Each structure stands twice: as C-alpha cells, then as structure tokens.
Amino acid sequence: MTAEATPAPAEGAAADPGTSGPAAGRGPRARSGAAYLRYVAGKLAGAAVSLLAVLVTSFFLFRLIPGDPVKFMTGGRPVSAQQLAAYRREFGLDLPMWQQFTHYCGKALTGDLGTSYQFRAPVIDKIIEALPNTLLLTGTAFVLYTALGIVLGTRSAWRHGRLGDRLNTGLALTLYSVPSFWLGLLLIIVLSVGVGPIPGLFPTGGMESGGKEGFAYAVDVAHHLVLPVVTLVAVEYGQTLLVTRSALLDEMGGDYLTTARAKGLRDDLVRRRHAVPNALLPTVTLIFVNLGRTVAGVILVETVFSWPGLGGLFYQGLSVPDLPLVQGLFFVFASAVIVMNTLADLLYPLFDPRVGR
C-alpha cells in the first residue's frame, strides 16, 4: 500500500506562520507593531486636536477679562480720540473679532504669538527670556518631590499599617490639600520675616540680591531658591507617595514575591529587585504628567515669591490685561501638560507591553 501524497497548498492560500518563506515574518510581533503604530497615531492625533482647542480657547477666554489695554498703553494720560485710534490700529484691536482671531491663529501656527502691549516686544522673546528661571525652579522641585515621594511611598507600603506609614500618609494628604500660595506666605512669615526671637533666614522674594558674580552669584540664587522649592515639594510630593504606595501594596500579594522569599532572598532584596520595579509602572506615567503640570501650576508660587519666571510674567500680563502675553503663556502652559501627557502615553507601552496592542 503506497503512502498517500500530501496535497500541495492551493495558490494564494495562507502559509503556516511556523514555516520559512516570505510569510514567516507575519506573526504576532508584526501585528503588535502595527497595533502600536495605530496607538501612537491615535495619541498624536488627540494631542494635535487638544492643542488646536487650546489655541482657540486662549483667544476668547482672556477677552472676558475686564479692562481696556489701550488705556494702559496711554499710562493714564489724557489722550485724544485720534491717539486712541492709532493705538488700536497699531495692535490690530480696531479689526472685527473674527479677523483678529484669524490673524492670531495664522501667526500662532508660524510661532508668532504677537507683541506684548506693556513690553512692546515679541511675546515669544519674553517667554524665552523667562523660561530658564521657571525651569530652574520647577526642575529642582520636580526632582526632589519625585524622589521623596517614591522613597517614602515605598517605605510606607512595605511597612503598611505601622506608625511610620500612618504618619507619612497623613502628612502627605494634609500637605497635598494645602494651597501652594498659602503655604508660601506662611513660609515667608516664619522663615523670611521671622517670628518673635526667630530671625529671618531667607529672602522674602526675588531671584538674586544683585552685585554678585561667579560662585557667589550661584550661592545667592540657591539661597533665594530654597523657599519656593520647599513650597512646591511640600505640596506635590504627596501624590507621588500615595500612587507609589498604592501600586506597591497591589504587588505585595503577588505569588512571585512569595516564590522569591521561598528561595531564600532577603526581604529588602525582594522589595528592591522584584516588587518596586513592577510597582513603579503607574508612577512612571505620573512623573511625566507631573512634569507638565508643575510648569503650568507654578504661577501662584512665582507670584508669591516674586520669582522672575513664566508664572510671574503671566500675573503681570493679567493685571493689564496684556492679551498677547497671557494668550501666549496660556498656550505654553497648556501645551506643556498636553505634551507630557502624550509622552507618558507613548512611553507606557515600553514598560507594560499589554498597552498599545
């Protein structure tokens, strides 16, 4: 009895993924890559729509602020109607609203955010001038409160229910609910002005005392930086602590930790090598979100401490109102949040492959 011949596959039929040939690479990995590209495209499209919405909102929102910027430009001096008309014509305020809007959007898409009324300079130049000061403040605070939140959150979760855990979470919740401007004013009263026999230890505001160079200048800036950074760290570290603690508590019941202990690994080694890396996945997302949110939320702290950054510039613009300046800064603040959120969404699949499939 002869062996029955194996029928050849029909032309155009799908080849077995396990076989060699041109179709061999079309497996789960290829499909996963295509799914991730769709995931990235969706996130980028959503970010673009959000930025467009912010652009539109920034134009109409600040036109609800009471006050006439033309009167500010005159400095309170009595001027003729012709002079007022000239000011309005210079800054395009004599045009219909829809035409002002189209001009604003057209210029913004090319990077031109207009000309500041009070500084008579391009808004983008004022933003670039103040941005390093804000990055110095927010960057220092961000590094400190992120590290502090992760360390204390890890310790609280691993000692869940003990006195240290209760104190850490209680203090974090209390400070997280405190308004940053109120805490900043309190620190100025206690540590700058001084209370009773306690002398003032830090400057009440500003970024430098002036007249210093080199290393002495760096020390002076650091001295002025202490209270604003402490304010931001105190208010912001609690969220990172609570998220890290919650994520680690979820991981602590995992079977893989029991197996690691059964193999004889020390408790601190189990925590450091196994539990914490997995628990940090939600914290990674929070880190990027906080980075954008800290830049956008520094307005009150910079105003309280007279820090010459984007927040202080925004406050100056609101007092006029300097429409191009506040519109441009609002767009920058909102864009920082959107970009950081999008970046977190794009990076998260690298830590958790289940996302983006």
290-307 pLDDT, tens per residue? Answer: 888 787 778 889 989 989
DSSP 280-296: HHHHHHHHHHHHHHHHH
Token look-up 């809007």 returns: 101
What b/e sequence results for 228-256 when a residue is b if at least 16 CB atoms lie within 10 Å of its CB, and e otherwise? bbbbbbbbbbbbbbbbbbebbbebbeeee
Cα 121 to Cα 94, 113, 117, 277, distances in angstroms? 20, 11, 8, 49
Q: Give the per-residue pLDDT at 273.
A: 67
On whether the pTM is more than 0.85, the answer is no
DSSP state of 307: -
Contacts 24+ apart (CB under 8 A), 101-106: 101/59, 101/60, 104/59, 104/327, 105/55, 105/56, 105/59
List the chain domain ranges. 127-351
Taking 90 as the threshold, does the pLDDT of residue 28 lie above it? no
Residue 186: pLDDT above 70? yes
Q: What are phi and psi of 208, to 5 degrees?
A: -160, 160
pLDDT over 50 (residue 27): no
Map tokens 């930790």 to a residue: 257
pLDDT of residue 32: 62
Looking at CATH, the fold of the domain delimited by 127-351 is given as MetI-like fold (1.10.3720)
* Integer CA distances (angstroms), 183 to 19, 218, 221, 233, in order: 67, 26, 21, 11
pLDDT at position 67: 66
Q: Which among 300, 292, 302 has a CA at the least distance from the CA of 332?
A: 292
Name residues whose C-beta falls within 8 Å of residue 185's C-beta, 6 or more positions apart in sequence.
304
State the pLDDT at residue 112. 83
Residue 13, pLDDT score: 42
Q: Mean pLDDT in the chain? A: 79
Tokens 């000239």, residue located = 86
pLDDT value, residue 2 = 44
Q: Could you give the CA distance from residue 55 to residue 127 in angstroms, rounded to a whole number?
A: 17
Mean pLDDT, to the nearest integer, of 8-33? 46
Lowest mean pLDDT of 12-16, 84-88, 276-280, 285-289, name the range. 12-16
For residue 352, pLDDT beyond 80: no
At 229-283, the pLDDT tens digits run: 999 999 989 888 998 888 888 777 666 666 766 776 666 676 666 677 777 777 8
Confidence category of residue 197, pLDDT binned at 50, 70, 90: low
What gap in Å lies between CA 30 and CA 24, rounded to an integer? 10
pLDDT tier, 144 (very low <50, low <70, confident <90, very high otherwise): very high
d(CA 117, CA 123): 9
Torsion sign, CA atoms 291, 293, 298, 301: negative
Distance (Å, whole) CA 154 – CA 160: 10
Residue 89 has pLDDT above 60, yes or no: yes
Give the pLDDT score at 280. 74
Residue 26 has pLDDT above 50, yes or no: no
Considering only 46-50, 80-84, 125-129, 150-154, which range has the smallest mean pLDDT? 80-84
Q: What is the pLDDT of residues 308-344, one digit of tens each?
A: 999 889 988 887 788 889 888 998 888 888 988 888 8
Q: How confident is the model at residue 225 (pLDDT cuts 50, 70, 90)?
A: very high
Report phi then psi at 319, rounded to 5.
-75, -10
Mean pLDDT of 52-77: 75
pLDDT score of 128 = 92
